[in-house]
Amino acid sequence: MKPMDHAVARELLIDDQRGRLTPSQRVELRTHLDGCAACRAFDARETTLTSALEQSLPRYPASLALRRKLNARLGEERVPRLRWARAARIVSAAAAVVLVAVLVRQQRDAGLRTVGEETVSDHLRLLDGELRLQVISSGIHEVKPWFAGRLDFAPEHVFAGDAELPLQGGAVARFLDRKAALLVYKRREHLISLFVLRPDGLDWPEAGSPRSLQLRGFHLVLWRTGDLGYALASDLETGELGRLATQLEATR
């Protein structure tokens, strides 16, 4: 049986919440979820949002101050009951929009933290020697071609290294449910991990909006360039790592 891809699984998750799946579809979906951390996280976020929308949307009556403002605007001493009901619905709808926006932001932040935790875990594997360099650097023109055939994408916009930030080498790493190119740099005595991967299905920052995180004593910078996501991790100070991220992101 051909493995289910992420897009199909996420469509089925919506139907599953509404009880529309056949028994065989549910079995196939659960099999995919058992082996896919990204889709499990997506399922948890969608379930939380659905529950919040169905059960927690507030219904706020119009306040006295709002009624007075409406009275003054309409030039009436008293606003008919029908208009008040309409005003109340408008206020309730506006509150619902705000709540949804807040929930979406919280879910994105939770998803971003999942990505950050994975970045730190993989960086620690490198520091502990569990994740080893598979190609030692003698220059980016040796390291970059090494990834050909080992990934379904070419790691683009990667910094070649210099005297202050020499490239140590690279490896193919497992990042959640997909492969990533790992490039390792060194800054004085600090190792720096750069993971390059396809971010489809993950809560990744939008292009032009890099995000900085601090998790478990490490500093991270996440950004997107074109179709690829980049995750930088080190124990360097945030400001210094941010400057390095800018340097790496500017590589063309």
Q: For position 100, what pLDDT does the model report?
A: 45
Q: How confident is the model at residue 57 (pLDDT cuts 50, 70, 90)?
A: low
Q: How confident is residue 64, by pLDDT bands cut at 50, 70 and 90?
A: low
Task: Classify residue 155 by its DSSP letter.
Answer: -
Please give the residue that has the higher pLDDT: either 163 or 65. Answer: 163
What pTM was estimated for this model as a whole?
Answer: 0.58
Q: What is the pLDDT of residues 71-119, one digit of tens each?
A: 666 555 444 554 555 555 565 555 444 444 444 454 456 778 999 999 9
- The pLDDT tens digits of the residues spanning 132-154 come to 999 987 667 778 889 989 999 98
Structure confidence at residue 13 (pLDDT): 82
Look at 130 and 62; give whichever has higher pLDDT.
130
Which element (helix H / strand E) includes 204?
Answer: none
In whole angstroms, give the CA distance from residue 59 to residue 92: 5
Query: How far is CA 235 from its chain centroid?
Result: 21
Q: Which fold has domain 130-249?
A: Phosphorylase Kinase; domain 1 (3.30.200)
Q: Give the separation between CA 218 and CA 122, rounded to whole angstroms.
A: 12
Average pLDDT over residues 152-178: 86
Q: Is the dihedral of CA 121, 122, 127, 128 positive or negative?
A: positive
Helix (H, G, I), strand (E, B) or coil at 15: helix
